[in-house]
Amino acid sequence: MENTEKALIQRLNRIEGQVRGIKKMLSEESECPKILVQVSAVTAALNSFAKLLLTEHLKTNVADDLRSGKTESVDELIITLNKMLK
């Protein structure tokens, strides 16, 4: 999990930099299509972050709970996925 946590933090740092870049583009009155391309890149980066986080959650927390006979994690995961996929 420690390696994954580092990877997640690195991704968030890159995303944070991308968002700052978009803010700078706005203040410099860059062309809208260029800004929209950067927004798309941030969206893709956030989706990638979410996939990695979800994968780690499934491999650790949910799998451990299922092995222990706890099914509440699956219910919680379904609720979370429904919120994410609205």
pLDDT in tens, 21-49: 999 999 999 999 999 999 999 999 999 99
Percent of the chain having pLDDT more than 90? Answer: 92
Residue with more model confidence, 17 or 2: 17
Q: What pLDDT was estimated at residue 86?
A: 87
pTM above 0.75, yes or no: yes
Rounded to whole angstroms, how far apart are CA atoms 21 and 9? 18
Rounded to whole angstroms, how far apart are CA atoms 11 and 50? 10
